[in-house]
Amino acid sequence: MRNAAAVLIALLTAASGPARIITVDDDGPADFNNIQAAINYSNNGDTILVADGTYLGNGNRDIDFKGKAITLRSENGAENCIINCEGTEMEFHRGFYFHSGEDRDSVLDGFTIINGFSFSGGGIFCEGSSPTISKNIIRNNITAYDYEGGGGISCWSGASPSIMNNIITENASADLSGGGIYCYEAGSPIIANNIIIGNYALYGGGIGCVWSVSPLIMNNIIVGNTGGYSSGGIYCWGGLATIMNNIIAGNTAKYGGGIYCSSSSPTITNNTIVGNMARAEGGGIWCWKDSSPTVTNCIFWGNAAPKGPQVALRSNLYYGPSGLTVNYSDLAGGQAHMYIEEGCTLNWGLYNIDADPYFAKIGYRDPNGTPGEAADDFWVDGDYRLKSQGGRWDANEGRWTRDEVTSPCIDAGDPMGPIGYEPFPNGGIINMGAYGGTAEASKSYFGEPVCETIVAGDIDGDCNVNFKDFAIMAAYWLEDNRL
């Protein structure tokens, strides 16, 4: 009995002891030579540090966190630490399988995950778990025919992972939804600050949300994805998605090149939806089956489709007609470039415009030397910051620059919406488009030299303190508009 008690005390002490750093290297000195062995040994709070290299075989694929609140991190970033799943049609393997209630404290940070081939979640599968997945490169992973989606990442059964700051590219869902990311009956996943590019699925080349409760899709670059049937960019079937501050550009599908809504009413705020193409209807957005999304502070420009280049609304015999509410947005061609089927409702709200947004650099579709063959075209992306005589952030130069023109989308968003992190001078009104409300929002211009000095009380930045400043202050008095 004394021996059993001593063993129990030792186990409890180890479980509650100080956090450790556990090392992994498959071809050098370390605590372990494979990742799964290190996880099996770890306790909550530990960090597992994985050396540079390409990790193969059992112990380095189908990796299971076993419900532990640990951080698994590469030593020198995703480019230098590769997990090659070596999955095939004959032998399914993926990178990671979270299925034991992992939460935000279970962190996967800084790996390249390639060549997964599995039923759902070719790269990563989250089932009833909510880990943090950050700063990874998830590339060339596939879900097989006749199985659920999520070539790159799949979220199932109440899963609410935080998927942030990843590059998710060249993944495919061979038969269903979510080439890059798939959410099915998920809880409230956060999909933020990712680059989601060049993925394929039958429904939702970039992101597929099916009966997800309330996903937040925010600050992503969703570019050049393909939907074989519907939605190259974001596919929403059911649920109440929040889609905000994304660049959705150069995606293609038959229906809904940019966004597809079916029995779904997402909130779509401050997005730039440009250059998407539908072979049939709804280049920018396509809605049916009683969908009623609300669009605010968005820019729809250069989208293309035979019907409804910017927007198409469809009815359904069993589910009913769709509707769309649009406020404070810039839509090329205005209502004339929308297809509204009989019975559907367009609520054309306040202060919508049809004006060139003056992007810093517009993206375009390259015919790849065969102008008559659309199938081999590819998207060359642009810079969708708004030109301004007051100042525009130049990401290539890492500085502010001034243009010869000022976009009409600056200070043209909802005047009662939060301006967030927009730099001074900002006019006290949020900009339209993906950069509205962010630190890279283009600055306001008042038709005269920009005020170089911040003057106390000069809220709109025109170098004068007057009634306009007071009116802006009064409109936001006692409101908490922090992001």
Chain Cα centroid distance, residue 424:
27
**Does residue 168 fall inside a structural domain?**
yes
Instruction: Return the top range by mean pLDDT from 9-23, 235-249, 356-370.
Output: 235-249
Q: How sure is the predictor about 373, in pLDDT bands with cuts at 50, 70 and 90?
A: confident
Distance CA 375, CA 32 (A): 48
Q: What is the mean pLDDT of residues 351-380?
A: 88
Res 13: pLDDT: 41
Tell me the pLDDT of the chain averaged across its residues: 91
Quote the pLDDT of residue 483: 36
Number of domains the chain contains: 1
Task: Give the 3-state secondary structure of 16-32.
Answer: CCCCCEEEECCCCCCCE
- Cβ neighbours of residue 247 under 8 Å, at least 6 residues apart? 220, 221, 222, 223, 271, 272, 274, 384, 434
Which residue has 């071809």 as its token pair?
A: 27
Flag whether 74 is in a domain. Answer: yes
What are the residues facing 267 on neighbouring strands?
A: 242, 294
User: Confidence class of residue 367 from pLDDT cuts 50, 70 and 90?
Assistant: confident
- Predicted local distance difference test score (pLDDT) of residue 441: 98
Q: What is the rounded distance in angstroms from the CA atom of residue 22 to the CA atom of residue 29?
A: 12
Range of the domain at 116: 1-139+154-173+181-194+208-215
**Checking phi first, is residue 14 left (phi over 0); if not, alpha (psi -120 to 50) or beta?**
alpha
Full strand arrangement of the beta sheet holding 53-55: 53-55, 81-84, 112-114, 137-139, 167-169, 195-197, 221-223, 247-249, 272-274, 299-301, 330-331
Q: Evaluate whether 101 touches 65 at the Cβ level (below 8 Å).
A: no
The pLDDT of 152-167, averaged and rounded, is: 95
In a domain, 55, yes or no: yes
Q: How many contiguous H segments (helices) and E segments (strands) does the chain have?
A: 3, 47
Tens digits of per-residue pLDDT, 171-205?
Answer: 999 778 899 999 998 789 999 999 999 999 999 99
Out of 87-96, 419-428, 468-477, least confident range? 468-477
Task: Tell me the mean pLDDT in the region 334-349.
Answer: 95
Q: What is the pLDDT of residue 6?
A: 41
Say which CATH number the domain at 94 has. 2.160.20
Cβ-contact 309, 286 below 8 angstroms: no
pLDDT digits (tens, 9 = 90+) for 412-442: 999 999 999 999 888 889 999 999 999 999 9
- Residue 239, pLDDT > 70, answer yes
Any domain includes 114:
yes
**Is there a domain that residue 167 lies in?**
yes
Please, are residues 21 and 46 in contact by the beta-carbon 8 Å criterion?
yes
Could you tell me which of 41, 100, 94 has the C-alpha nearest to residue 65?
A: 100
In a domain, 258, yes or no: no
Quick check: is 97 in a domain? yes
For residues 378-396, give the mean pLDDT. Answer: 94
User: Cβ-count burial of 52 within 10 angstroms (0-12 exposed, 13-18 middle, 19+ buried)?
Assistant: middle
Residue 334 in domain: no
Least confident of 5-14, 201-210, 404-413: 5-14
Q: Yes or no: say if 270 and 247 are a contact pair by the CB < 8 Å rule.
A: no
Higher pLDDT, 159 or 374: 159
